[in-house]
Amino acid sequence: MSTLLPDFAEMARALRAGKVSSRELTGDCLARIKRHDSTLNSFISVYPEQALAAADAADKAIASGSAGPLTGIPMAHKDIFCAEGTRTTVGSKMLDNFVAPYDSRVVSGLAAAGMVSVGKTNMDEFAMGSSNETSYFGPVKNPWDLQRSPGGSSGGSAAAVAAGLVPAATGTDTGGSIRQPAALTGLTGLKPTYGRVSRYGMVAFASSLDQAGTLTRSAADAALMLGAMAGFDERDSTCANVPVPDYSATLNDSLQGKTIGVPKEFFDDGLEAGCAQAVQDAIKQYQELGAVVKEVSLPNLAMSVPVYYIVAPAECSSNLSRFDGVRFGYRTESTGDLADMYTRTRSEAFGAEVKRRIMTGAYVLSAGYYDAYYLQAQKVRQLISDDLSHCFAEVDVIMGPTTPTPAFKLGEKMNDPVQMYLNDMYTIAANLAGLPAISIPCGFSQNLPVGLQLIGTQFAEGLLLNCAHQYQQATDWHLRTPVISGGAA
Ligand code: GLN
């Protein structure tokens, strides 16, 4: 029995019918990790004993008839979520030795739903990056082509799911870090509305943008996982007190008469031809499903990357000031006075991209530059948000590409931060406006997966999942899997 059953529903059926146990599914994941992860580098930590113990508990729940739809299904967490008693590194030397004293809401929610975590996945350092190359633990390989990046910052989660090492994984998305890697590895990647999922116990990068979500094969799987992650949590003051609908119940709603807005700015010169074709074909498919397509405009879209690269570094420079060698994480071995200890600790334990962001952030927040940069960026952020609101007065969903190109080569953009930042030109607007968005596989270009992005209004996750599911009922892009050189099991 392979974990590569097409979706959670089939796994749950097999588990309940006694055709497979959670211990077998989990053992199969652990074996695949052992076999392939020296090639992919998608995991930072793997916990076989804990995972098998959780699987046994799930098997008991199944036997006693108290199992839910996720009970016994293995998964992995991005190494940004605290899980009690285990290492949580955020892909950084700074937290290489940090053992979390408590569970994040995402970890406890999925554990309570019976999912079995097998370990923690690789990621860009502090979730800063678009290629998974800024990780202290080395780059992750894209299972579709080992020379290429799986995207970032949730690159480990994406590679692990795409390669079938686990059926699903969590991610976080501050400017595109779930959707972009989902697009580049042929997965379904959901970033919920800001505040839909509690940030409690999730290491902070840019607190007004960070949001947890899922990397799965299908929208149906994402619907089940989101249900277990979402909901009010008083430990996160920005968590929304909005009821959590049954996301699975609306997956089969008809798309007849739904309106899709296609922003003309998404189809600019930067969009690779094969990606443009796949996305256009997908939009046609939606017309066949009964949707009505309308051109819309996001006039300030071009400002989203510059605005993000002021707001996100500003927030990170503040958030990362807590890593000073005193309370937790790395501390320099060299001796000196307190100021010296702070400086050396931070110089030695943060990587180049994190330092670049902290310096940029401190600069744009400094007296004399605050008004010209930070305040101005916040104003333009509002304009981008207003552009999206204007579109949603006319349409139900916005659609376009997730990324300008398919997966790029490892090393290709590392020496040019601006080229790296431009990867996120289609994803950042949803974060700046706090809106939910999903990327689903919609074809191939240069034999590499292409992602279609759907953006919705606040708390429209149900509609996005419904649109994604209907497309996945009519197509099979989400079922295509890569063959990892060395032989996939
Ligand atoms: N690639 C973007 C960045 O480097 C987004 C990262 C993210 O969403 N965590 O900041």
Q: Which pLDDT tens digit goes with each residue over 60-114? A: 999 999 999 999 999 999 999 999 999 999 999 999 999 999 999 999 999 999 9
Q: How confident is the model at residue 42 (pLDDT cuts 50, 70, 90)?
A: very high
Bond before 153 cis per omega within 30 degrees: yes
- Residues in contact with ligand 1 by the CB-under-6-Å rule are 127-130, 153, 172-177, 205, 312, 424
Rounded mean pLDDT, 238-266: 97
pLDDT tens column, 182-198: 999 999 999 999 999 99
What percentage of the chain exceeds 90 in pLDDT? Answer: 94
- What the chain holds in terms of domains, given with CATH numbers, is 125-261+393-486 (3.90.1300.10)
Mean pLDDT of 2-14: 84
Residue with CA nearest ligand 1 atom 10: 128
Residue-level pLDDT at 8: 97
Determine the distance separating the centroid of ligand 1 and the alpha carbon of 292, expressed in angstroms.
32
pLDDT digit string, tens, across residues 397-426: 999 999 999 999 999 998 888 888 888 999
pLDDT tens, 373-403? Answer: 999 999 999 999 999 999 999 999 999 999 9
**What pLDDT does 489 receive?**
43
As a whole number of angstroms, the distance between CA 136 and CA 184 comes to 22
> From CA 172, how far away is CA 64, in angstroms rounded?
34
Three-state DSSP string of 3-69: CCCCCHHHHHHHHHCCCCCHHHHHHHHHHHHHHHHHHHCCEEEECHHHHHHHHHHHHHHHHCCCCCC
Q: Residue holding tokens 């996301």?
A: 247
pLDDT of 309 higher than 90: yes
Q: 291-300, pLDDT tens digit by residue?
A: 999 999 999 9
Distance 23 CA to ligand 1 centre (A): 35
Both structure tokens of 401: 């590409």
Question: Band of the pLDDT at 487, cuts 50, 70, 90?
Answer: very low
Query: Tokens standing for 206?
Result: 């840019």
Q: What is the pLDDT of residue 328?
A: 87
Q: For position 2, what pLDDT does the model report? A: 58
Q: Which residues are catalytic?
A: 78, 153, 177
Instruction: Give the ligand 1 atom nearest the CA of 129.
Output: 4
Of 335, 353, 334, 325, give the one whose Cα is nearest residue 94: 325
